[in-house]
Amino acid sequence: MASTSKTAVLKMYKTMLRESSKFSFYNYRMYALRRIKDKFRENKSLRDPTEIQHNMQEANKYLEIIKRQVIVGDLYKSDKLVIEN
């Protein structure tokens, strides 16, 4: 299965991190980055191809949600927080 290869998983991880870093709101951005890192770290020892495939499909769904939420967040921009400067 090509979609369960190590490179495909790594590509999904990097894509999710890249898309999450586009959140305009600091709290959303940090939450998304933390959740992605935790979830991938939690599942790094998976070896079953069907389970990996299932997790990749789930990650793809969440990636689409992140992309939509970034677009919606851009519609409601606000000033940056002090912590971001």
- 3: pLDDT strictly greater than 70: no
> CB neighbours (10 Å) of residue 50?
9
Confidence tier at 11 by pLDDT (50, 70, 90) = very high
Instruction: Give the global pTM.
Output: 0.85
Closest CA to 23 of 39, 9, 36: 36
- Give the Cα separation of 83 and 62 in Å (integer): 27
% residues pLDDT > 90 (the chain): 72
Crossing angle for the helix pair 49-75 and 6-20, to the nearest 10 degrees = 20
Domain ranges in the chain are 1-51
